[in-house]
A and B are shown apart, each in its own frame.
Chain A
Amino acid sequence: LSPFTAGKGFWSEMLGVGDFYYELGVQIIEVCLALKHRNGGLITLEELHQQVLKGRGKFAQDVSQDDLLRAIKKLKVLGNGFGIIPVGGTYLIQSVPAELNMDHTVVLQLAEKKGYVTVSEIRTSLKWETERAKQVLEHLLKEGMAWLDTQAAGEPQYWLPALFTELYSQEITPEEAKEAIP
Chain B
Amino acid sequence: MDRFAWTSGLLELGETLVLQQRGVRLYDGEEKVKFDSGVLLLSTHRLIWRDQKNHECCIAIPLSQVVFIEEQAAGIGKSAKIVVHLHPAASNKEPGPFQSSKYSYIKLSFKEHGQIEFYRRLSEEMTQRRWETMPTGQTIQVNKDPQAGRIRAVGIVGIERKLEEKRKETDKNISEAFEDLSKLMEKAKEMVELSKSIANKIKEKQGDITEDETIRFKSYLLSMGIANPVTRETYGSGTQYHMQLAKQLAGILQTPLEERGGIMSLTEVYCLVNRARGLELLSPEDLVNACKMLESLKLPLRLRIFDSGVMVIELQSHNEEEMVASALETVSEKGSLTADEFAKLVGMSVLLAKERLLLAEKMGHLCRDDSVEGLRFYPNLFLTQS
- Chain A positions within 8 Å of B, measured between CB atoms, are 2, 4-5, 14-15, 17, 19, 22-23, 25-26, 29-30, 36-37, 46, 49-50, 53-54, 56, 58, 60, 62-65, 74-81, 86-89, 91, 96-97, 109, 112-113, 125, 138, 141-142, 144, 148, 165, 168-169, 181-182
- Bound-complex Cα distance A29 to B265 (A): 12
Q: B116–A75 contact, CB under 8 A?
A: no
A103 CB to nearest B CB, Å: 15
19 A-B pairs with CB atoms under 8 Å apart are A22-B282, A25-B270, A25-B274, A26-B275, A36-B350, A50-B22, A58-B111, A62-B74, A62-B110, A62-B116, A63-B116, A74-B283, A80-B266, A80-B311, A81-B308, A87-B177, A112-B170, A138-B372, A142-B370
Contacts of B381 in A (CB 8 A): none
Q: How far is the CA of A62 from the CA of B117 in the complex (A)?
A: 9
Q: B166 → chain A, closest Cβ, in Å?
A: 7
Residues of A within 8 A of B170 (CB): 88-89, 109, 112-113
Q: Are B281 and A64 in contact (CB under 8 A)?
A: no
B114 interface residue (CB < 8 Å to A): yes
Residues in A with CB closer than 8 Å to B260 are: 182
Measured in the bound complex, the distance between the Cα atoms of B351 and A36 in whole Å is: 11
Interface size on B, residues (CB 8 A): 69
In the bound assembly, the distance between CA atoms of A138 and B375 in angstroms comes to 12
**B112 beta carbon closer than 8 Å to chain A:** yes
Give A113 Cβ to nearest chain B Cβ, in Å: 6
Q: With the chains together, A19 CA to B375 CA distance in Å? A: 39
B372 touches A97 (CB 8 A): no
Establish whether residues A109 and B174, one from each chain, have CB atoms under 8 Å apart when the complex forms: yes
Question: Considering only CB atoms, which chain B residue lies closest to A24 in the complex?
Answer: B281
Contact for A78 among B120, B224, B311, CB less than 8 A: B311
Cβ–Cβ < 8 Å partners of B191 in chain A: 14-15
Most-contacted residue by chain B among A17, A77, A81 (CB, 10 A): A77
Does A64 contact B120, Cβ atoms closer than 8 Å? yes
